[in-house]
A and B are shown apart, each in its own frame.
Chain A
Amino acid sequence: MNHRPPIFWSWLLRIVLHSSEEQYVEGDLEETFHELIQAYGHRKAANWYRSQVIRSVPLLLFRSSIWGIVMGKNYLIIALRNLKKSLGFASINITGLAVGLACTLMIGLFAVDELSYDRHHENADQIVRLIRTSRFSGTEESSPVTAGPFGPMFTSGFPELENFFRLQKRRSGVDVEAGEKTWTEMSFYDADASILDILSIRMTSPSDGNALTLAYHLMLSEQTARRMFGGIDPTGDVVRVQGKDYVIDGVFEDFPETSHFKPDVLASFETLIQERPNQISHMGNNFFYTYFLLAPNALAQDAQAKFNGAIEATAGPEVAALIDFSLQPLTDIHLTSHYNYELEANGSVEALLVLGIIALFILTLAVVNFVNLSTARSAARAREVGVRKAVGAHRQQIVTQFLGETLLLSTFALLVSIVLVDMASPVFEQLSGRHLGLKLLYTWPVLLGLAGFTLLVGLAAGLYPAAVLSKYRPATVLKGGSVRASDSGSPLFRKGLVVFQFSVSMILIIGTLMVNNQLEYLQSRPLGFDSEQVLVTRLRTPAMKNTGRSIMDQFEQVSGVSGITASSSLLGNGAGGVLFIPEGVERGEEGLAMATLHVDTDFLSVLDVELVAGRDFSEDRLADMDDAYIINRQAAEQMGWGVADAVGKSLIWPTSLDGSTPNAREGTIVGVVEDFHFTSLHKLVEPLVIVPADGMPSYMLTKMTSSDVSSTMVELEEAWSALLPQTAFDSFFLDDHFGNLYTEEERSARMFGVFSLLAVILAGLGLLGLASYTTTRRTREIGIRKVMGATSASIVQMLASEFSILIGVAFVLSVPISYLIMDGWLSNFPYRTEQSFWVFAIAGLLTLALSLLTVGYHSLRAAFSNPISTLHHD
């Protein structure tokens, strides 16, 4: 049971109370809080506590002695009165700055979180990961997956490396049985016992120090243990994994969110050594992630420089020429590592940078607004300044007063922004799909930094109006009752700020539209095959694969199913590459690496892939089993034959390039298909070889042409459970899967959308301020114009055109900038939309409409005002 009052609110209270002798206020609240828990429960009590703090903060702030230092209490009273008098203006100003601060804060917290990946390990700076670079057929491929022997070999060979551990991720979805129940674990790792020494992994149950040293032993994460065994400590219990019994050595504390891999289960590496000794000791089996602990004060480069020599010594110069190793700091993995076969999806520095720039933009917008609005507002107070000066106020005092007011505003804005962050963080987390380190916000350095920053913004915003206004000579101000434009600061400065704001808004709007366009394009581009109503079922276990053929036969009987086939890889996720030797290329020369897809015979017809030359595989499964290949257009062109000549050519799939071992497969190309997207649209279509599958491929594809999909699904499920009663029928649609490939783009689109909306709102607020300023300043001019015969319409036109020019300038500035930015972004995609004219047009028109709407109110009021009321002073 939670007996503590809400953390944020009690923290806020403490901040406001400020001096420790006032702790009795806190105590009073906490006491009543506990009484309320007894009477009404925790929720009600927490709500009460929150409302108490909210309502008490203004009063307590007033009491607090901070103000004695920053400004005299009198100034505070005047400032508060002024705020109260112009509540609308103050709330616009506070909201604007608070929203800007909140955005920046959230992005900042996000950034700090991203940068803190894997830093929680005590030796984080001394841990490195081995990266292998292989060279073959003129291409280079780097990857974190390495062979088993290198860890022990390098550690014993070089003094720079103190220790190592190897890690293997089992293919996703390992079934773990405990008693009667089965859990499917997605992050099941095998690791050397040294992982416990190198990484800072805390054990929650006492261990005898021999954890993970024996074969068929494993450890569970706290969360997994709780899920399987409830609250009971499972140490010493036995679970069954893939038909083998494993002893549980202990429970480790869950890896924090900020880890580049987060295991649920860690099994001992000994298990692998016992099960597959040859694979572990083979230098060409790249299955493992190898991490090293550097010796104290040793440099990674020193060790790195010696790797090649060591390989030459053990495996000969031929191997050494093909392979290269480097070391990657553990703390760099999350943000900068984007190899194939990463353990989990990593973040990106670029995305962080873009977000950072957006944050900076929004913050600048907000601060500019704050300055602009404060200035506009204070110009209307010229008369007050005049009176004050006339009765003897020093310039110094007036400056202090204005500064105090803006400081007060910015302080309120800071408090509001913290509340906003507190409330909006779940939304942000959902938008970004990432974690936000909210706890960090409530630490002293961050809070002090924020307070300092707020002070700075307050001063900056107050300084300009204070300097301008305190300059007024009381005689002129009071006699004229108004200030000449030339006295109230440079209009060019304010106009420049407006142009800047609208340029930023337009760039963000254009960005949003463009990202959405590209997303839509990715999702709607024809894939080259029919992905609709295709149900994918993954046959995970050997048992499922063994029953695969019978399931396919049963499924074919179901009404609404028009065809069924299978493939070795999931379309959209790409396919594994294999080295081929095409006809006309000599043995020992370079082969060509091509993706291979092992499919069932009906693959092309069920998925409606277009055949451009030759024939499909024969209906008879065995006929083409040994020697037929179908390739795609890309492959035909890369091998230099073209579509027409490719049919009939031979293709060898060797096991070794020098021909010393028998070939895996030697066959003829029987057909060529049009390129279709077996990877996501982030990649160009690669050369592909389609091979008839020997056994049962892992992915079963059921094509339906049913008007009632749900009833067909029910029938399929029945057929499935008749054959495989223990396993659930787990399947998804292929087009959904393709949609999910672009979640990263969807996130960017949503983030862009939210932030540009905020930017537009902020820019709108800024314009509102400027419009109100200009129209009040020009009241007399408008009055005189009307007396001289100007119509209301012509006056609206005059005022509106002035702003339209500013928008026009902003448009002209933002178009090339956003074109360049978006061009850079789009060039990441091999398949992309054009930047169309209408995107820019829409952004421009939208901004124009918004600004006219904002300005319109003030212009209309000014235009329809009676000249008598504006001029009667003269």
Chain B
Amino acid sequence: MLTRVEEMILLSVWRLQDDAYGASVRNYLTELTGDDWPIASIYTPLDRLTKKGLLRSQTGTPTKIRGGRSKKMYRLTAKGVTVLQKAREVSTALWSHLPDPGVVAR
């Protein structure tokens, strides 16, 4: 099972294609959600997803703006895509045929 954050990160990597690495994923999610995500909260799931085989990582080229440090680039694996599609199915199923929420006033 994917957590919500893992799902969001996988989808971001998918969306960012060849440009998916820590900072770009963080910026993308920050832009999207409006929260300033701590960089560590991106890397912890990224590592976990890589270990699970849903992502593949690869060292990129160092650039000057990064103080000469290289990037760690991520690509979605076939397994990652399958898991994402499954998650979507579950999500759609959960969201369909919902009755009126019947919100209770506090």
Chain A residues with CB under 8 Å of chain B are: 23-32, 34, 48, 51-52, 55-60, 63
Contact = CB atoms under 8 A, between A and B. Distances in A.
18 contacts: A23-B70, A24-B22, A24-B59, A24-B69, A27-B67, A27-B70, A30-B66, A30-B67, A31-B65, A32-B27, A34-B65, A55-B40, A55-B41, A56-B40, A56-B41, A58-B40, A63-B40, A63-B47
A31 B23 contact: yes
B78 interface: no
A24 B38 contact: no
A82 to B, nearest CB: 22
Contacts of B23: 27-29, 31-32
B44 interface: yes
A59 B37 CA distance: 13
A689 B39 CA distance: 76
A629 to B, nearest CB: 76
Contact of B26 (A28, A59, A63): A28
B3 to A, nearest CB: 15
Interface in B38-77: 38-41, 43-44, 47, 59, 62-63, 65-67, 69-72
Given A24-B21, A30-B65, A55-B38, 18 more contacts: A24-B59, A24-B71, A24-B72, A25-B22, A25-B39, A25-B43, A27-B67, A28-B71, A30-B67, A31-B63, A31-B65, A32-B23, A34-B65, A48-B36, A52-B36, A52-B39, A58-B40, A60-B40
A26 B69 contact: yes
Contact of A24 (B26, B27, B44, B70): B70
B40 A27 contact: no
B39 A28 contact: yes
B22 A59 contact: no
A68 to B, nearest CB: 15
B26 A32 contact: yes
A32 B22 CA distance: 10
Nearest to A51: B36
A775 B40 CA distance: 42
A667 to B, nearest CB: 79
A84 to B, nearest CB: 18
B27 to A, nearest CB: 6
Contacts of B40: 25, 55-60, 63
Nearest to A59: B40
Interface in B13-37: 21-23, 26-27, 36
Nearest to A57: B40
Contacts of B43: 25, 60, 63
A26 B41 contact: no
A30 B68 CA distance: 10
Contact of B69 (A27, A32, A55, A60): A27
B13 to A, nearest CB: 14
Contacts of B39: 25, 28-29, 52, 56
The 5 A-B pairs at the shortest CB distance, nearest first, are namely A27-B69, A56-B40, A27-B66, A28-B23, A59-B40
Interface size class of B (residues with CB under 8 A): 20 to 34
Given A55-B38, A63-B44, A23 B65 contact: no
Tell me which of A31, A58, A60 has the highest count of chain B C-beta atoms within 10 A of its own C-beta. A31
Nearest to A16: B40
Contacts of A59: 38, 40-41, 44
A57 B41 CA distance: 10
A26 B22 CA distance: 10
Contacts of A52: 36, 38-39
Tell me which of A26, A30, A48, A63 has the highest count of chain B C-beta atoms within 10 A of its own C-beta. A30
A19 to B, nearest CB: 13
B61 to A, nearest CB: 11
A56 B43 CA distance: 10
Nearest to B38: A55
A58 B44 CA distance: 12
Contacts of A31: 23, 63, 65-66
A48 B36 CA distance: 9
Contacts of B65: 30-31, 34
A23 B59 CA distance: 11
B16 to A, nearest CB: 13
A570 B62 CA distance: 66
B73 to A, nearest CB: 9
A23 B22 CA distance: 12
Interface string B61-98: 01101110111100000000000000000000000000
A13 to B, nearest CB: 9
Given A24-B72, A30-B66, A30-B69, A56 B38 contact: yes
Contacts of A24: 21-22, 59, 69-72
B66 to A, nearest CB: 4
A63 B59 CA distance: 20
A28 B22 CA distance: 6
A28 B38 contact: no
A34 B62 CA distance: 15
B17 to A, nearest CB: 18
Tell me which of B23, B63, B70 has the highest count of chain A C-beta atoms within 10 A of its own C-beta. B23
A30 B70 CA distance: 11
A414 to B, nearest CB: 20
A143 B67 CA distance: 55
Nearest to B66: A27
A26 B44 contact: no
Contacts of B22: 24-25, 28
A28 B66 contact: yes
A26 B21 CA distance: 12
Nearest to B70: A24
A275 B96 CA distance: 102
Contacts of B41: 55-56, 59
A26 to B, nearest CB: 6
Contacts of A32: 23, 26-27
Contacts of B36: 48, 51-52
A150 B43 CA distance: 71
A25 B71 CA distance: 8
Contact of A28 (B21, B59, B62): B21
Contact of A27 (B26, B38, B44, B71): B71
Contacts of A55: 38, 40-41
A246 B58 CA distance: 66
A723 to B, nearest CB: 62
Nearest to B72: A24
Nearest to B43: A25
Contacts of A26: 67, 69
A28 B70 CA distance: 9
B36 to A, nearest CB: 7
A60 to B, nearest CB: 5
Contacts of A25: 22, 39-40, 43
A62 to B, nearest CB: 8
A30 B43 CA distance: 15
